[in-house]
Amino acid sequence: MKKRVLVAVSGGIAAYKACDVVRRLQDAGCDVRVCMTEDACSFVGPITFEALSHHAVLTDLFGFAESPNPHIMMASWADLCICVPATADIMAKVAAGIADDCVSTTILAFHTPVLFAPAMNVHMWKNEATQANVRTLQSRGYGFVMPASGMLACGDVGEGKLADVSEIVAAVVERLGAKRDLAGRRILVNAGPTHEAIDSVRYIANASSGKMGFAIAEAAADRGAEVVLVAGPVSLPTPDGVERIDVVSAEDMHDACMAAFERCDAAICAAAVADYTPVRKADHKLKKSVERIDAIELVETKDILAELCRVKDGRIVCGFAAETDDVVAYATAKLARKGADMIVANDVSKSESTFGSDTNHVVLVTASGAEELPTMPKPQVADAILDRIAKMLPELA
């Protein structure tokens, strides 16, 4: 999957160089979107960036056709933001937490890396207020592509010239550099719901969208793993480089997972598998006017997580716990009961971590304790989970 970069353009004469940054990032294989301050639009028109990026350009938080909350949409979409040129004004706003335009608001909404490429007059750059803001931003994890020295647009000579475009693009590409820590590994992931048939058209299911499991499968493949994705009935596209096995019922998913795990180093069970299935399944549509259903007798389905843990023999097995209360307590008990190496727990009663949401708020529970992560887009949650899995795996021979 292409890495996604938001280019945030603020109002400086070097704004025209952001056009070249967009094109060079595309040449590097990135999908690029652009947001601009009002002042930036005085230097380069948004239509130029629309033509270059093939996306609508965000210039105002109101009336953006793609989303009523475009700053959140952009921050969730992008893997990284590069602010180029970064003026003294935009850095001061972000350092102070001021969000009064689309660029400052969007940058403050980011969960993923943000880089600044400053450009301004030498005296503005060396001003102690600007330097204090740079230090503040660096202390908070923001990255910088520092300005060069040379002839400035105003005629002064000194530090403050925008870094070379190739240097800016190289910094972005380096920061985006995909980890290959799972190369040589084979990972099983299951995802989505299961459908437990009542008759030929009716079934028992849940609201799982499969987004979290698919994000894990995609991230694992990006990090070099061979991935087998056992997917319940969802309409999500297959991630690039992933072997997909489609199933319907809990029994189908059990059989596919057990077979695939024989040749895997780890299993991540993100699917919301039905706990129960009807004892009897009619082979035709039951007519309520003829075949009244007073009760449906249910039987427990096979416990895929427990079965994988039973046969893991030194391999890594991670499960999920979708809870509505006492999340950590239930996940800790599940970890011990199943014999898993890690349980990813989330509260599905909350909007940011419910079925179908694009973000998740999880707690990673292992034998050594519980680690709560901030609310993040699911691809970032997937990488956080894989960071822990990678450390658990034994070294390759």
Residues 6+ apart with CB under 8 A from 131: 125
Q: Of 381, 10, 389, 394, whose CA–CA distance to 213 is shortest?
A: 381
Asked whether residue 194 falls in the same domain as residue 244, the answer is yes
Is residue 238, in this structure, part of any structural domain at all?
A: yes
Asked whether residue 190 falls in the same domain as residue 217, the answer is yes
Asked whether residue 83 falls in the same domain as residue 163, the answer is yes
Q: Is 229 in contact with 244 (CB distance < 8 Å)?
A: yes
Asked whether residue 149 falls in the same domain as residue 283, the answer is no
Is residue 397, in this structure, part of any structural domain at all?
A: no
Q: Of 50, 83, 85, 44, whose CA–CA distance to 66 is shortest?
A: 50
* pTM: predicted TM-score of the whole model, two decimal places: 0.64
Asked whether residue 165 falls in the same domain as residue 213, the answer is no
Asked whether residue 163 falls in the same domain as residue 224, the answer is no
For 288-308, what is the mean pLDDT? 87
**Res 396 pLDDT > 90:** no
Res 397: pLDDT: 56
Is residue 356, in this structure, part of any structural domain at all?
A: yes
- How far apart, in whole angstroms, are the C-alpha atoms of residue 123 and residue 88? 11
Asked whether residue 339 falls in the same domain as residue 196, the answer is yes
Q: Domain of residue 196: give its range.
A: 186-392
Confidence of residue 178 (pLDDT cuts 50, 70, 90): low
Catalytic residue among 30, 41, 102, 154: 154
- How far apart, in whole angstroms, are the C-alpha atoms of residue 83 and residue 3? 17
The DSSP bridge partners found for residue 321 are: 345
Is residue 181, in this structure, part of any structural domain at all?
A: no
| 284 CB burial (10 A radius; 0-12, 13-18, 19+) | exposed
**Res 288 pLDDT > 90:** no
pLDDT tens track for 210-246: 999 999 999 999 888 999 999 999 999 999 899 999 9
* Length reported for the chain: 397
| 123 CB burial (10 A radius; 0-12, 13-18, 19+) | middle
- How far apart, in whole angstroms, are the C-alpha atoms of residue 23 and residue 136? 31
Asked whether residue 365 falls in the same domain as residue 231, the answer is yes
Candidate from 22-26, 149-153, 228-232 with smallest mean pLDDT? 149-153
Of 147, 176, 205, which one is at a domain's C-terminal end?
A: 176
Is residue 290, in this structure, part of any structural domain at all?
A: yes
pLDDT tens track for 72-115: 999 999 999 999 999 999 999 999 999 999 999 999 999 889 99
CATH code (residue 299) = 3.40.50.10300
For 350-355, what is the mean pLDDT? 81
Q: Of 230, 252, 234, whose CA–CA distance to 302 is shortest?
A: 252
Q: How many domains does the chain have?
A: 2
pLDDT tens track for 251-282: 999 999 999 999 999 999 999 999 999 998 88
Active site residue 154: yes
Res 102: pLDDT: 95
Is residue 211, in this structure, part of any structural domain at all?
A: yes
Asked whether residue 136 falls in the same domain as residue 230, the answer is no
Is residue 222, in this structure, part of any structural domain at all?
A: yes
Q: Of 272, 232, 269, whose CA–CA distance to 344 is shortest?
A: 269
Of 176, 198, 232, which one is at a domain's C-terminal end?
A: 176
For residue 237, CA distances in Å to 212, 222, 229 come to 13, 16, 12
Asked whether residue 233 falls in the same domain as residue 255, the answer is yes
CATH code (residue 147) = 3.40.50.1950
Is residue 383, in this structure, part of any structural domain at all?
A: yes
Confidence of residue 295 (pLDDT cuts 50, 70, 90): confident
pLDDT tens track for 104-144: 999 999 988 999 999 999 999 999 999 999 999 999 989 99
Asked whether residue 151 falls in the same domain as residue 229, the answer is no
Q: Is 195 in contact with 301 (CB distance < 8 Å)?
A: no
Of 148, 176, 204, which one is at a domain's C-terminal end?
A: 176
Asked whether residue 152 falls in the same domain as residue 204, the answer is no
